Amino acid sequence: MIRHDWTQAEVQEVLDRPFHDLLAEAHSVHHDRFDRNEIEGALLVSIKTGGCSEDCAYCPQSARHQTGLERQGLLSTEEIVAAAREAKAVGATRFCMGAAWRSPSDRQVDAVAAAVREVAELELETCATLGMLTAEQAEVLAAAGLDYYNHNLDTSPDFYGEIVTTRTYDDRLATLANVRAAGVSLCCGGIVGMGETREDRAGLLAQLASMEPHPESVPINLLVQVPGTPLHGVEPLDGLELVRTIAAARLLMPRSVVRLSAGRESMSDELQTLCLHAGANSIFLGEKLLTTPNAGPDQDQRLLDKLGVRLTSEPVLAR
């Protein structure tokens, strides 16, 4: 039974289960809903880089952090479509466009919408992450054929103020509501390894699992520590906590695609394998996620070959 009334205490109980019990149950649910030997490949491209006015403690694109990142204006439609063609050539079925804005102007949304139309003609799923959207802007992107909008909650409501002060949790929820009302699917997850507790991770998952319907795509990111950001030097998260988080996400949101997102470049094959076994069934392809490193195509293919896992030729659908 799919629930939308999970409490934080109930999610904490899931996360606290003996590791092997949690992993076995999550894998069973995953096997019932998806082909466990197929994963979705997505590719994320930064279409506007740096200069963001937000103060997100993890983000090298904040203008408030001295990370040495070179700013780049919005790419042209032609440049975005060329990147989408390259994404399709390496096996991606979803193309994600990320712009470092707090909230785009209507003119900027129109420019992205034009790119969305052309990327969709390549028979790729389209996804965008542009910051906060008004209801009208969400409608423009929906009319252009946008399939997914990414807007992460980042962490639990209780820990959120330690990570971001320039945008409230309610601001994030309002954008998600605008996107959902426009008929665009949600890509919404968070980041682990930012110094939060397991209780905070339970709070994040409870928020996600309370949405009705659940987000169609749930990215679980492991913090990539970037020099110059406030979170550089934070104690790294134990890898098994990442596995627990993914397993719990699979149990709470059984029909959602759970993406093993940022941080894979630093993960061992064994840790990535545990995450896939726990219920992750999507990865980002390519050597870069916006501005941070990602496991490259050779490393990805070597691991998938060892596991007998293949990239899907069609978008992943839950049974």
pLDDT at position 72 is: 83
Annotated catalytic residue within 33, 59, 264, 275: 59
Distance from C-alpha of 176 to C-alpha of 166, rounded to nearest angstrom = 17
- Out of 250, 259, 264, 275, pick the active-site residue: 259
More confident residue, 264 or 206: 206
- Is 297 a residue whose pLDDT tops 70? no
Question: Whose CA is closest to 114, among 74, 151, 61, 71?
Answer: 74
Among candidates 66, 87, 88, 38, which has minimal Cα distance to 232? 66
Q: What is the pLDDT of residue 295?
A: 59
Distance CA 174, CA 155 (A): 16
**Strand partners of residue 2:** none
Q: Domains in the chain, please, with CATH?
A: 15-305 (3.20.20.70)
- Read out DSSP for the chain? ---S---HHHHHHHHTS-HHHHHHHHHHHHHHHS-TTEEEEEEEEEEEBS-B----TT-TTBTTS---PPPB-PPPHHHHHHHHHHHHHTT-SEEEEEE--SS--HHHHHHHHHHHHHHHTTT-EEEEE-S---HHHHHHHHHTT--EEE---BS-HHHHTTT-SSS-HHHHHHHHHHHHHTTPEEE--EEE-SS--HHHHHHHHHHHHTSSSPPSEEEEEEP---TTSTTTTPPPPPHHHHHHHHHHHHHHSTTSEEEE-TTGGGS-HHHHHHHHHHT--EEEESSEETTEE---HHHHHHHHHHHT-EE-SS-----
- Residue for token digits 């542009």? 130
Select which of 94, 167, 172, 187 is catalytic. Answer: 187
Number of Cβ within a 10 Å radius of residue 105 = 10
C-alpha distances in angstroms, 195 versus 60, 191, 259? Answer: 17, 10, 21
Q: Verify whether residue 187 is a known catalytic residue.
A: yes
- Mean pLDDT taken over the chain: 91
Which of 96, 167, 180, 244 is catalytic? The answer is 96
pLDDT, position 249: 97
Rounded average pLDDT over 123-139:
95
288 pLDDT more than 60: no
Nearest to 191 by CA among 47, 58, 16, 20: 58
Question: In this predicted model, what pLDDT tens digit does every residue of 61-118 receive, in sequence order?
Answer: 877 887 777 788 899 999 999 999 988 888 888 999 999 888 999 999 999 999 999 9
Q: Which residue has the higher pLDDT, 252 or 264?
A: 252
Verify whether residue 275 is a known catalytic residue.
no
Which residue of the set 33, 94, 127, 167 is catalytic?
Answer: 127
- Write the single-letter amino acid at 154: D
Pick from 40-49, 55-64, 216-225 the range whose average pLDDT is largest.
216-225
188 is catalytic: no
Least confident of 71-85, 136-150, 179-193: 71-85
Q: What pLDDT does 287 receive?
A: 60
Contact status, residue 238 vs residue 279, Cβ threshold 8 Å: no
Q: One of 33, 56, 94, 180 is an active-site residue; which one?
A: 56
Res 272: pLDDT: 94
